[in-house]
A and B are shown apart, each in its own frame.
Chain A
Amino acid sequence: MQEFDVIIIGAGPAGLRAAKVLAEGKAKVLCIDKKQEIGVPKRCGEGFGLSWMERLGLKPDNKWCLQSINGAALYAPSMKSVKIDFKKVSGYIIERRVFEKELAKEAASKGAMIRTKCHASDFERKGGKVIVSCAEQGENVKYATPLIIAADGTESLTARKLGFDTKIGLNDIDSGYQYEMANISFENPHFIHFFFGKEIAPRGYLWLFPKGKNCANVGIGIAGSEPKTAKEYLDKFVKAHPGLRNGSIIEVNAGTIPVGGFLDELAADNLLVVGDAAHQVNPIHGGGIGIAMEAATIASGIALKAIAEKNFGSKFLNQYTVQWYETRGNKLKRILKQRHMLEELNDNNFETLAKSISGSDIMLIAEGDLKSSAKMVIKKLVKHPKLAKVMLKYLK
């Protein structure tokens, strides 16, 4: 049986980042994915903020940065919109298939071993090690390691099999559906567009992320508890919009987003959990590429220490939990509150907001700046005390 210092389950952004950092630290690392091709199919709107790229040391590369973005438009049900113009490039719509392959090539060049069409199906703790049973291109194989990094996305089978409860309630999950569309028309290809309203996307939103002038990811995320399907809402929207109605669908993507908060503990004996598997996504907009890669970087740092000290116990590995909450987790917990605010707003509220507040006001709220947001709400919503009251409840 082949042995590795670390085995990473899942070669998405989180797993591939971990593979790179660990290989750079001279660990013997295997990263496996059940997919036949890395990055395909995507479960993603492909929006990636520039500040995240900078934080992660990634240079925007024309190979995968398809469309530069310098603003956002938020639409109330009547299509009245609030525009947030950053006046400079603030992010990109990327081609995830290419992005992930580049991450994989980089990790491999540092010495990580990557395997696709390799499904980890069982895990057994034995003598301080974990034996991973895999179906690799039709063959049953076993690998051994003292440390597993579970980077296997929302499905999170690895953590579950190793004793974690990763189940999610219907209220804490968004059900997502998306068409990559071609030959469509929309307002501004340098803006990302968000549509709100009960009839459009109950307790969620619908997005249009441009990939060039006439192509876009048009997708929706709605509460998992909604009786109607995400597909029904998306189809209704596409039909109702002349610019989209006659477009072609060149890819269909379905996925679920764990928006209701993250695991309290991110490590156990022989195990670190990162990315979607640990529910590490932004609770308001569901973005998770950057967050997953940041968490993987932190986890890998602890993994390298664990290898050096030969300590794979829960207590040691949970240093990752502490570090992650300090750098990101606590901030995301505050943002989770804002999500609950969004859930309470009705269609009339959205219309009022579209008329009363500006793009920079929205940024205050989205960035979790509670004090300034509360001040803004009091000032701008004097004529709408009921709405102001609802919002102020969450801005404490």
Chain B
Amino acid sequence: MTAVNDRNKCCYCAGCPIVCPVGAIELIDGIVVIDKEKCTNCGACVKVCPVGAMSIKR
């Protein structure tokens, strides 16, 4: 399981990288990039996202 980003919904607001407790998210060239190895599926990014662009998927 890992957090995934829906690019069609994402507004690149930079909310998810700052709340991720393990630093698994970076905004690179305006795109949310998630390090699956680091992600602990804590769901913080899912909650903070103003548009529901993050979810936890298998």
Contacts and interface: CB of A to CB of B under 8 A. Distances in A.
Contacts of A184: none
A224 B19 contact: yes
Contacts of B15: 154, 173, 175, 224, 254-256
A43 B47 contact: no
A177 interface: yes
Interface residues of B, number: 23
Interface of B: 11-15, 17-21, 23, 26-30, 44, 47-52
Contacts of B23: 160, 167
Interface in A165-206: 166-170, 173, 175-177
The dominant DSSP class at the B interface is: loop
Nearest to B13: A254
Given A170-B44, A256-B48, A156 B11 contact: no
A227 interface: yes
A348 interface: no
Interface of A: 34, 43, 119, 121, 135, 153-157, 160, 166-170, 173, 175-177, 224-227, 229-232, 252-256, 258
Given A170-B44, A252-B11, A231 B51 contact: yes
A18 B26 CA distance: 26
B50 to A, nearest CB: 4
Given A43-B13, A155-B18, A170 B47 contact: yes
Contact of B51 (A156, A224, A254, A258): A254
Contacts of B26: 157
Nearest to B49: A229
A167 B19 CA distance: 6
Interface centre among A153, A227, A254 (most CB of B within 10 A): A254
B36 to A, nearest CB: 19
Most buried by A among B17, B18, B50: B50
Contacts of B27: 155
B13 A256 contact: yes
Contacts of B12: 254
A175 B18 contact: no
